[in-house]
Structure 1
Amino acid sequence: MLSHSRRAAALYAAVGAVDVLAAGARGERVRWVAKPLLMPLLALYAIAACRERGRRVSRRLLVALALAWAGDVALRFRGTAALAAGAALFFAAYAIYAAEFTRRGGRRIGWVAPAGYGTLTGFVLARLWPGLRATGLAVPLSAYSMLLTAMAAAATTQGARVGAGAGLLLVSDALLISDRLGADLAGTRAGGPAWVMATYLLGQGLVVSGWPGPP
């Protein structure tokens, strides 16, 4: 018999696969059903996994996942207002991640991760700057990108799993903004939504499954 956490993880993977395939096929009706289920399933996994280990789930993690869920729903809509709302909600979610990784400490960050992520963010912002200026969101999305860069760098102190997950979240957001602006970022425009969701779901799964220590 599968444990409750494994069942939740399997459901998350299955619904995630449906959403990724629907994103690639532009199956918007399917995505309206699948996407809002994803973060609740991941939260159920976190709760079950913590109970099986004899500890409480982190309330900060659950709040971050709730914010991510709201961001997912906001980004189901098109337009600048939806992009701004989604970015604000994910800013709050990833601020919790960054604060928690910093508070927990762990391995030293060093200079490689901040330099690498900073270079990636700078490249993406430079490529997308004309489109960002046209939307009027250049400044807030730049601030959001810097927070996400700091979060990804801080995640490297929490081990390879969390570090890889946060890195994928950074890549996912770069692809998302590129797709929303209709830009071609590293040749990914044609399959944009599918790549966005694949990297996002894997990234969130890695971060949550490797979430540091008791609350």
Structure 2
Amino acid sequence: MTPRWPGAVRPLLVAFTVLAVVHLGALLAGASLVDHLTKPALMPVLAVYVLARGGPVLLAGALLFGCGGDTFLQLGGHGGGVVFLVGMGSFAAGHVCYLLLCGRHGSPPGGRARTGAFAGGYALALIATVALLWSDLPADLRIPVAGYSLLLTAMAFGAVRAGLWAAAGGLLFLLSDTLIASGIAHWPQLPAPQFWIMLTYTVAQFALAEGVLRAAAERQGAGRRSTRPPQTVTAEAASRP
């Protein structure tokens, strides 16, 4: 995969890292102005980093949908309402992008038994989480949260196709959104709950992006090797010691 803007790759990665550290530090310090300014900037910077590396435009789109979700949830909070549902819908659109990307660039995790184990584990986690949260969620959010949870779980399972980085990202995204849902249900929370939500979310988005980039590069490299003329491959093999 050829970088679009090679000179910008490292500075953008540094910028994203610094922005994430500042944002997380602001959450711990209670600096709400810094928190509100840095949160919507995280995913656009990561999206430009993806484009600089030559990544798929759809991957940048998934991250920008995440920015939309961040912004609407910041405006509407986590307590429900129309703004919250719009934010959740934006995240859902990002999950659809990830599903398409992992299906396009990934490959099955290997073996029917392993695939079944992943599918069974995620299905069990979905059923258990929705069942436990259901009665504690506001009535108007039960169906939307259950539908969103189904899509999120499907994304996390689909991310396994794109390798270890993406699989870890899908799992962390699932954890982050479960922390949000537990807050809506008024379950006991960890100290500084927004810090843990954003830590797992930020790492999840980076890991998903990195996983898709690696899977796309590997698929592109395999395609190039398969299209080379046979005599070129034979000549290369003959020249090896």
Q: Same fold (TM over 0.5)?
A: yes
SS at match of 1:76: helix
Q: 2:157 matched to which residue of 1? A: 153
Deviates more, 1:188-197 or 1:29-38: 188-197
Amino acid at match of 1:206: A
Deviation at 1:4, TM superposition (A): 2.1
> Is there any run of 5+ residues in structure 2 with no aligned partner, and where?
1-5, 221-241
1:209 Cα shift? 1.6
Higher helix share: 2
8 Å contact from structure 1 (residues 179, 189) kept in 2: no
Residue of structure 1 in register with 2:104 after alignment: 103
Please give the per-residue CA displacement for 1:150-197, whole angstroms capped at 9, x wherever unaligned. 11111111111111111111111111222233322xxx4323111110
Contact 1:74 1:86 in 2 (8 A): yes
Root-mean-square deviation (CA, aligned residues, Å) is 2.0
CA distance in 2, matches of 1:62, 1:48: 10
**TM-score normalized with structure 1 length:** 0.86
Q: Using the TM superposition, name which of 26-35 and 66-75 deviates more.
A: 26-35
CA distance in 2, matches of 1:192, 1:207: 22
Aligned residue-pair number = 204
Whether 2:67 is the aligned partner of 1:69: answer yes
TM-score w.r.t. length of structure 2: 0.78
Deviation string 1:92-115 (CA, Å, 9 cap, x unpaired) is 110111122123341336122222
Residues 33-182 of structure 1: matches in 2 within 5 Å? 33-50=37-54, 57-77=55-75, 78=77, 79-81=79-81, 82-108=83-109, 110-132=115-137, 134-182=138-186
Instruction: Give the share of equivalent positions with the same residue, in percent.
Output: 29
Conserved? CA contact 1:67–1:93, under 8 Å: yes
- Segments of structure 1 that go 5 or more residues without pairing to the other structure are 51-56
**1-structure distance, mates of 2:139, 2:191:** 22
Larger Rg: 2
Q: What is the aligned partner in structure 2 of residue 53 from structure 1?
A: none
